Amino acid sequence: MEIEYFTETRKPSDIVELYTSLGWYGLPGYTDEEIDRAAENSFYSVFAYDKRKLVGLGRVASDGKTVAVMSGICVRQDYRRRGIGEGIVSRLVYFCQSGQYCVTVQLFCEDSLKRWYERLGFERCSYGMRKPACEEKLCELQREFNNIYGIEQILEHIPDFYWYNFDSFGEFRFYASKNQSGEDIPNLHMTFYVNEPKALSCELIFDNVQNFEIGVKGLRTPLQALGIVKAGENYRVCSLEDDDINFYCENFRVINAQVI
């Protein structure tokens, strides 16, 4: 196996294919629009290929004067422990600290990876400070689910939306994706409909669905209300009736909301 490193992808779909294999595609920061924006705004990028197959990538953002921040460092599950991650990181650092540039390279990483980065010459530093951007007055949806990807798509049409606004549900389908450990997990794609105050359709994806029960499959059935509540480390999703919908999931996200 001979890994080659490039500063551009061979074809645009390679990144989506890589993120899909990692179970990242569609998560916050990994939608089509955000992937394209990250590529456009990167200071420098490295893409690792095994022949025509993208097996890893990494990028940095920088002003070219003071600091560079590495992000998105990843390697396919079945290509790890072969020096590919080191090859990506070393090339990013070399670009930022040689030739016309001499900037400090920073990154955020999981605790389990700190010693790995230390072996590459990185030093631990404080986390610093941050000021999240958010409105002072939040509706109930934002207060309860502000960390859920895509909430703003619903609020764009119905600013005071609550989950029990859902009046009915339509098509649904199961599909499998891989988590970071490479295991297959069951996901559920489901469409819900709202009649008031606007006619709205909303597509949601529920990750790692468990104990799924549904009363009438394949039909658009009325709902008196739909509840999504935190249940330990998971969420419980259920219609507030005697039948129809009931299951648990690890997380969920809004992928589309539009007026109909």
Domains of the chain with CATH codes: 3-119 (3.40.630.30), 140-259 (no CATH)
The token duo for 69 is 């921040």
Local structure of 38: helix, strand or coil: helix
Residue 150's CB: how many other CB atoms inside 10 A? 21
CA distances to 21, 23, 109, 208, 243 from 16, in Å: 9, 10, 22, 20, 38
What is the C-alpha separation between 30 and 86, in angstroms, rounded?
23
The token duo for 59 is 């990028």
* pTM of the entire predicted model: 0.52
* CA Rg value for the chain: 22
What is the C-alpha separation between 70 and 107, in angstroms, rounded?
5
Are 224 and 239 in contact, with CB atoms under 8 Å apart?
A: yes
- Note down pLDDT in tens along the chain; length 260 residues: 799 999 999 998 999 999 988 888 887 778 888 888 888 889 999 999 999 999 999 999 998 888 899 998 999 989 999 999 999 999 999 999 988 899 999 988 777 888 899 999 998 876 566 655 544 455 667 667 777 888 888 888 888 887 777 888 777 888 887 766 777 888 888 888 888 888 899 999 898 888 877 665 444 456 667 788 877 788 888 876 655 678 888 888 888 888 88
Indicate the residue type of 170. Answer: G
